[in-house]
């Protein structure tokens, strides 16, 4: 009997180990007064140096204040910050993309409104107006745009286009013709990081914008719209038609973005195009092949209600917010100001970025073209997964992956999204 008990208790112990996964919420360490803790996700390339240089300048001017900087990898950060905030142990300064997830922190009282700081010396006027919409909730602003302006464009291999005498398409039918020509020549038209999910939604979100115009805003803000609107069904159908027409490289739903897997076919000449954020330019810089690739805007859809100059993306992210548990909020704000002072702006431009401040002097032709596109855009739609509450964002990403894997229909996807919208957005 004793032996049996031992065995049983050892099984119990082994089994309970499985539950420890969510136990990250269990321990709540106390927040000590002291240094300004600062997390950021500019962890690759020259990112850490950009941040550290600015912080060093701050410290030189404010010798009494200590700043502890921690660079964290993008995906790890998203989980880490959640646990930290939930445990009342958030760093003083942390980045976000604005939109739905930041709004969760706002609703939980985890970040502070920055209006009073922004009013001082008209600091707010330094920035491009379009950069504030993603961090403003109920009239209060909760983040400072710093890093870059990011929009999704179609990158293409100039040599492949020249070889098959292709012109950059302006409309969806023209794009389909390009796809056809590339397929006959055994070049995959598009590569796609389908396993990472967020690259896929760029397709759906762009199509929905081109076809439906303000249909998304109406559905998301619940002002008379619905995610079952015909525009969304049509977007789903057109995307599935693109998949069926062989628009995407074989195995795209198994490719990750983060490890460079999805960009490899474009850099290796196996695929001709990639709908991706302008940050992909960094990969071309890294490969010393900036001259081989160009970009064009997402094509218009004939009969669509959306303006063809609209872009999908964000102006100014990452945004930096100050947590409500921060013990030295005034100095924390000063640190953020150093991140986007004139020296920081110059350093970021040198890295091919577009900082969200007015009156930039740009020299790189690609950056100038991108900046022009952003300036001319009638509207900037934030990525849906960042604009909407996280639960909806996840559902949306999963549904688009399923849609492109032909595992669901546009109608079923629309119904699933509308059902969740009714539950959490109404």
Q: Which stretch binds another protein (CB under 8 A): 7-15, 37-45, 57-65, 285-293?
A: 7-15
- Contacts with another protein, 225-264, as mask; x by CB under 8 A: ------------------------xxxxxxxx--x-x--x
Q: How far is the CB of 232 from another protein (least distance, A)?
A: 19
Check binding of 218 to another protein (CB under 8 A): no
Residue with smaller CB distance to another protein, 88 or 174: 88
Find the binder of another protein among 1, 2, 5, 26 (CB under 8 A): 26
Residue with smaller CB distance to another protein, 142 or 298: 142
- Contacts with another protein, 51-90, as mask; x by CB under 8 A: ---------------------------xx--xx-xx----
Find the binder of another protein among 129, 350, 407, 419 (CB under 8 A): 407
Q: Helix/strand/coil (H, E, C) string of the chain?
A: CHHHHHHHHHHHHHHHHHHHHHHHHCCCCCCCCCCEEEEECCCCCCHHHHHHHHHHHHHHHCCCCCEEEEECCHHHHHHHHHHHHHCCCCCCEEEECCHHHHHHHHHCCCECCCHHHHHHHHHHHHECHHHCHHHEECCEECCEECCCEEEEEEEEEHHHHHHCCCCCCCEHHHHHHHHHHHHHCCCEEECCCHHHCHHHHHHHHHHHHHHHCCHHHHHHCCCCCCCCCHHHHHHHHHHHHHHHCCCECCCHHHCCCCCCCCCHHHHCCCEEEEEEEHHHHHHHHHCCCHHHEEEECCCECCCCCCCCCCEEEEECCCEEEEECCCCCHHHHHHHHHHHCCHHHHHHHHHCCCCCCECCCCCCCHHHHHHHHHHHHCCCEECCHHHHCCHHHHHHHHHHHHHHHCCCCCHHHHHHHHHHHHHHHCC
Residue with smaller CB distance to another protein, 232 or 252: 252
Q: How far is the CB of 169 from another protein (least distance, A)?
A: 24
Q: Which stretch binds another protein (CB under 8 A): 51-59, 105-113, 160-168, 201-209?
A: 105-113
Check binding of 402 to another protein (CB under 8 A): yes
Check binding of 197 to another protein (CB under 8 A): yes
Find the binder of another protein among 73, 108, 287, 350 (CB under 8 A): 108
Residue with smaller CB distance to another protein, 310 or 417: 417
Q: What residue ranges bind another protein (CB under 8 A)?
A: 7-8, 11-23, 25-27, 78-79, 82-83, 85-86, 101, 104-105, 107-110, 194-195, 197, 249-256, 259, 261, 264-265, 268, 270, 389-391, 394-395, 398, 401-402, 405, 407
């Amino acid at each position: 009997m004793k032996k049996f008990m031992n065995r049983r208790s050892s099984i119990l112990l082994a089994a309970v180990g499985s539950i420890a996964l969510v136990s990250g919420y269990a321990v709540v360490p106390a927040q000590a007064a002291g240094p300004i803790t600062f997390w950021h996700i500019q962890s690759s390339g020259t990112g850490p140096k950009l941040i550290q240089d600015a912080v060093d300048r701050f410290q030189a001017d404010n010798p009494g204040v200590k700043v502890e900087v921690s660079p964290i990898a993008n995906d790890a950060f998203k989980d880490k910050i959640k646990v930290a905030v939930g445990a009342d142990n958030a760093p003083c300064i942390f980045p976000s993309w604005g939109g739905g997830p930041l709004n969760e922190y706002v609703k939980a009282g985890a970040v502070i409104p920055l209006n009073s700081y922004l009013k001082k010396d008209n600091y707010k006027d330094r920035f491009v107006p379009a950069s504030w919409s993603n961090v403003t909730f109920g009239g209060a602003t909760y983040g400072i745009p710093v890093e870059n302006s990011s929009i999704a464009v179609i990158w293409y291999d100039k040599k492949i286009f020249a070889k098959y005498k292709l012109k950059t398409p302006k409309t969806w039918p023209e794009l389909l013709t390009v796809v056809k020509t590339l397929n006959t020549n055994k070049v995959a038209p598009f590569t796609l990081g389908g396993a990472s999910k967020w690259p896929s939604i760029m397709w759906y979100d762009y199509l929905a914008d081109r076809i439906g115009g303000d249909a998304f805003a109406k559905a998301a803000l619940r002002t008379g719209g619905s995610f079952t609107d015909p525009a969304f069904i049509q977007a789903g159908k057109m995307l599935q038609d693109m998949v069926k027409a062989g628009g995407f490289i074989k195995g795209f739903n198994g490719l990750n973005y983060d490890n460079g897997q999805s960009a490899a076919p474009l850099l290796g000449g196996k695929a001709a195009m990639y709908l991706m954020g302008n940050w992909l330019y960094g990969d071309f810089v890294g490969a010393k092949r900036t001259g081989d690739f160009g970009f064009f805007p997402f094509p218009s859809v004939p009969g669509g209600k959306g303006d063809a100059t609209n872009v999908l993306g964000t102006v100014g992210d990452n945004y930096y917010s100050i947590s409500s548990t921060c013990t030295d909020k005034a100095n924390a704000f000063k640190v953020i100001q150093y991140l986007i002072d004139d020296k920081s702006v110059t350093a970021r431009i040198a890295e091919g970025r577009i900082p969200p401040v007015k009156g930039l002097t740009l020299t790189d032709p690609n950056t100038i073209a991108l900046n022009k596109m952003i300036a001319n855009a009638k509207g900037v739609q934030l990525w849906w997964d960042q604009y909407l509450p996280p639960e909806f964002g996840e559902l949306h990403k999963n549904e688009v992956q399923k849609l492109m894997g032909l595992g669901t229909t546009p109608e079923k996807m629309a119904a699933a999204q509308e059902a969740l919208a009714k539950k959490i957005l109404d």
